[in-house]
Amino acid sequence: MTDFLGSHILSVKQFDRDAVERIFEVAHRMAPYAQRQKRTKVLDGAILGNLFFEPSTRTRVSFGCAFNLLGGQVRGTTGMQMSALAKGESLYDTGRMISSYSDVIAMRHPESGSVAEFATGSRVPVINGGDGANEHPTQALLDLFTIQKELAVYDRSIDGMHIAMVGDLKYGRTVHSLSKLLCLYRDLKVTLVAPDELSMPKEIVDLLTDHHAQIEIKNKIDGQIGADIVYQTRIQEERFPTQEEADRYRGQFRLNHEIFSTHFKSNTVIMHPLPRDSRSEANELDNDLNEHPNLAIFRQADNGVLIRMALFAMTLGVENKVADYEYDVPWYSQK
């Protein structure tokens, strides 16, 4: 059984199915606070060190908001150049120092394994907000939570579902973490759509196969894909050796209204970890799907706050005390 109290969250590999279900149960209980129906001071006085050494909007801000919604304070830094890492400080030393100012730390860094290295110096729990092309565990949890909620509308569950992952499956850490989590579920069909050069790493395909997922590999969106979920991704241009190489794949995996209607089902749920690249030459998820009821991308991002609140509450041991510190919301809220 996974113990959350005081633990780092570095990889989805540390979770079993029971742990995932416990996180989801706590996340559901966070909804009234995220929706501003109630407030809680359960983490009053606690400090989150929110360290983002790579670009981020959603993940960084939602980690911060999640902590604020539990009553805690946030201290953060962004960008390598503005931190002492630019002066040659080791990740270990940075971890050691920041942990003395914080009760918990969220961190993103461009190198695989960097967050785990940082955590060796930390005296408080460290949550991986994305380490290079390696992992993004909180994103995978919010993706899976979204899948569960969206499929429940059609009386379906994660067991037995068919998911299609599309785009840059080589450098996309979200699909790496999500695939590992999917190994906890039964009777899955996984369609991987990517150019050969950007295909899913072999060890992850092997892992899915070892867990009896039925794998289908395609190098473009063609034929009747069907699928309960289509998970579109951005070409991770910042991880390519050269920009020219990244540009080669731009616009190749476009999902628009017409392509969606041709290759997917009328109830296929459309997901994307965001940000989507909306520049005309990329446009992997077209604006003409913005009003489509199956487009779950903003619900998916909203779920990130619930998952991150749950993880903070569980690593700090207050998941059953949130309501004890509850108080009213005096302002008019449209949430």
Nearest partner of 226 among 172, 274, 164, 273, judged by Cα: 164
Q: Helix, strand, coil % (nearest 5) of the chain? A: 40, 15, 40
Collapsing DSSP states into helix, strand and coil, what is residue 67?
Answer: helix
Alpha-carbon distances, residue 79 vs 99, 138, 308 (angstroms) = 18, 20, 22
Nearest partner of 147 among 159, 130, 135, 132, judged by Cα: 159
Collapsing DSSP states into helix, strand and coil, what is residue 154?
Answer: coil
Mask for 217-236, x = binds ligand NCD (CB under 6 A): -----------------x-x
Phi, psi angle pair for 113, to nearest 5°: 85, -10
58 or 75: whose CB is closer to ligand NCD? 58
Phi, psi angle pair for 256, to nearest 5°: -125, -175
* Residue 312 in tokens: 């903070």
Per CB under 6 A, the list member of 49, 71, 72, 130 interacting with ligand NCD is: 130
Collapsing DSSP states into helix, strand and coil, what is residue 255?
Answer: strand
State the nearest-atom distance from the C-beta of 77 to ligand NCD, in Å.
17
State the nearest-atom distance from the C-beta of 89 to ligand NCD, in Å.
24
Q: Is 174 in the site for ligand NCD (CB under 6 A)?
A: yes
Q: Is 239 in the site for ligand NCD (CB under 6 A)?
A: no
* Residue 148 in tokens: 């569960």
156 or 170: whose CB is closer to ligand NCD? 170
**For ligand NCD, which residue has the nearest CB?**
234
| DSSP code per residue over 9-48 | B--GGG--HHHHHHHHHHHHHHHHHHTTS-EE-TTTT-EE
State the nearest-atom distance from the C-beta of 287 to ligand NCD, in Å.
18
134 or 268: whose CB is closer to ligand NCD? 134
6 or 55: whose CB is closer to ligand NCD? 55
57 or 214: whose CB is closer to ligand NCD? 57
Separation of alpha carbons 261 and 258, rounded Å? 5
State the nearest-atom distance from the C-beta of 49 to ligand NCD, in Å.
18
156 or 180: whose CB is closer to ligand NCD? 180
93 or 247: whose CB is closer to ligand NCD? 247
Q: Provide the residue type at 7 as one letter.
A: S
State the nearest-atom distance from the C-beta of 210 to ligand NCD, in Å.
25
**Packing angle between helix 137-152 and helix 173-182, nearest 10 degrees?**
60
State the nearest-atom distance from the C-beta of 143 to ligand NCD, in Å.
9
180, 140 in Cβ contact below 8 A? Answer: yes
Interface with ligand NCD in residues 31-60 (CB under 6 A): 58-59
State the nearest-atom distance from the C-beta of 330 to ligand NCD, in Å.
32
Nearest partner of 198 among 245, 260, 254, judged by Cα: 245
118 or 322: whose CB is closer to ligand NCD? 118
Size of residue set near ligand NCD by CB under 6 A? 11
Q: Is 136 in the site for ligand NCD (CB under 6 A)?
A: yes
Q: Is 273 in the site for ligand NCD (CB under 6 A)?
A: yes
Separation of alpha carbons 225 and 246, rounded Å? 26
Q: Is 139 in the site for ligand NCD (CB under 6 A)?
A: yes
Mask for 85-104, x = binds ligand NCD (CB under 6 A): --------------------
Binding residues for ligand NCD (CB under 6 A): 58-59, 130, 136, 139, 173-174, 234, 236, 273-274
